[in-house]
Amino acid sequence: MTKKVLFLTSSYPFGKGESFINPELNTLSKTAQLIVMPIYPRGILKEDRINNDNIEYWNLRLFSFRYLLPFLFFAIFHPNLLLKLILHCIDKSFFKTLRNIILIPKNIFVFNKIKNLDIDFIYAHWLSAPSQFALLLNLITNIPFGITGHRWDLIDANNFDLKFKYAKFIRLISYKSTSLLPKSIQKKYQKKIYNIYLGIPISVMYQKKIKKTDAHIRLLCIGNLIPVKGHQYLINAINELHRRGYKVFLDLIGSGDLETEIKNQIIDLQLKNYINVLGYMNHSQVQDELKSGKYNIYCQPSVDLGNGFHEGIPVSLMEAMSVGIPCIATNTGSISELIINCETGLLVEDKNSVALAEAIQRLLTDENLSTTLIENAFKKVSIDFNQELNNQNLAKLITSKDVCEG
């Protein structure tokens, strides 16, 4: 019998974020009927959202006058249950408690919508508002739920004790993510924690010898122009390479708060003719760039900002590895789960422009090393970061009999 799953997101199918949800829906909808509902719908409806007969989208605002009457009836006829919901919203932080409590009116409204739909399971992305929403629905309906945790939501640590206690499973997207959890949570709920990478589509085989369409030595870096991406260190590395006589070019794809600062740095170093800030590109355009044959090396100069603010496993890095571009990255966050130094790529310490320059120079002068890295990198992403296989494992976890029947 086909399972029915309420799939909770932060904003998807609205806005630019949560693009990783598309492939999950595509895989999960093959074996289950899905109701997809964002907790905070914001932004423009995604044109590339997954649409098929097994997916229904609910667009319910966080606040609406429609929620008032059901909330009042619930308060009158189920005062003890309402008190229980409120108590299960309390966190050590007042602001987190408030963020949790404001979900209750919408939660009760959704309860009334689903109570006759025979929902088998609730699945929530993020250990923040969506999982709190799932917890509250579980308290009202006893429908089991599971959670995917990412990175910043692990640092936020909102109401973890109760979420981990009641959830059937918590899926984390890297092994590094586990270390961000409080030690007490790791120890107490280790049997509930699963590590399943997000991954990428593995459909086009790499070419050991990419046919170069550009006579120049050209590097690529993809990422929002924000502090954690460490672009300034890569720009300084390009300057160092020029000082050594390597007139390399660099394309930066992305936009963000540091765009003006980065452009000024390029001008100050007199690299305007060598470094191009290409701005924002959608995923299809990025794919075209990666497969264009223009690039000798891909660089990910990310930095650790402290207090858990660092990279996860950048999708663009996986994608570069999948199309046969040798990669250099910094040893921050979860990147070492993807890049094994001198095996699937080169790892250098973060915030070190000279180390970046030396790694780039090494790949430019050692063709055998580049070839080895390309071959091993493709094997790595094909096995550990294969999106379809990983999403199938997630789907099995969500729709398994033991999970759905509690």
Cα dist from 290 to 134, 243, 249, whole Å: 38, 28, 15
pLDDT, average across residues 147-172: 95
Distance CA 325, CA 317 (A): 10
Tell which phi-psi region holds residue 247, choosing left (phi > 0), alpha (psi between -120 and 50) or beta.
Answer: beta
Tokens standing for 298?
Answer: 């891909």
pLDDT, average across residues 190-203: 91
Fold of 3-199+387-404: Rossmann fold (3.40.50)
Cα dist from 233 to 75, 93, 168, 266, 355, whole Å: 57, 37, 43, 12, 10
| Contact residues for 281 (Cβ-Cβ < 8 A; gap 6+) | 253, 289
Tokens standing for 167?
Answer: 């959830």
Q: How confident is the model at residue 203 (pLDDT cuts 50, 70, 90)?
A: low
- Residue ranges of domains in the chain: 3-199+387-404, 218-384
Residue 113: strand, helix, or coil: helix
Cα dist from 316 to 248, 331, 395, whole Å: 21, 16, 24
Q: Tens digit of pLDDT for each residue in 115-124?
A: 999 999 999 9
pLDDT, average across residues 343-361: 97
Q: Give me the CATH code for the 218-384 domain, please.
A: 3.40.50.2000
DSSP-assigned beta bridge partners for residue 253: 222, 279
Q: What are phi and psi of 2, to 5 degrees?
A: -70, 130
Closest CA to 243 of 360, 370, 327, 345: 360
**Which string of DSSP letters, residue by residue, matches 303-363?**
---STT-S----HHHHHHHHTT--EEEES-TTGGGT--BTTTBEEE-TT-HHHHHHHHHHH
Q: What are phi and psi of 289, to 5 degrees?
A: -65, -45
Determine the residue type at 159: N
Q: Tens digit of pLDDT for each residue in 363-388?
A: 999 999 999 999 999 999 999 999 99
What is the value of pTM for the model shown?
0.87
Residue 248: strand, helix, or coil: coil
Distance CA 300, CA 356 (A): 10
pLDDT, average across residues 137-165: 95
**Placement of tokens 């093959």 in the chain:** 30
Domains 3-199+387-404 and 218-384 share a fold: yes
Query: What letter does residue 190 receive in the DSSP assignment?
Result: G
Distance CA 9, CA 375 (A): 36
Q: Tens digit of pLDDT for each residue in 38-89?
A: 999 999 999 889 999 999 999 999 999 999 999 999 999 999 999 999 999 9
Q: Tens digit of pLDDT for each residue in 325-335?
A: 999 999 998 99
Compute the mean pLDDT over every residue in the chain, rounded to the nearest whole number: 93
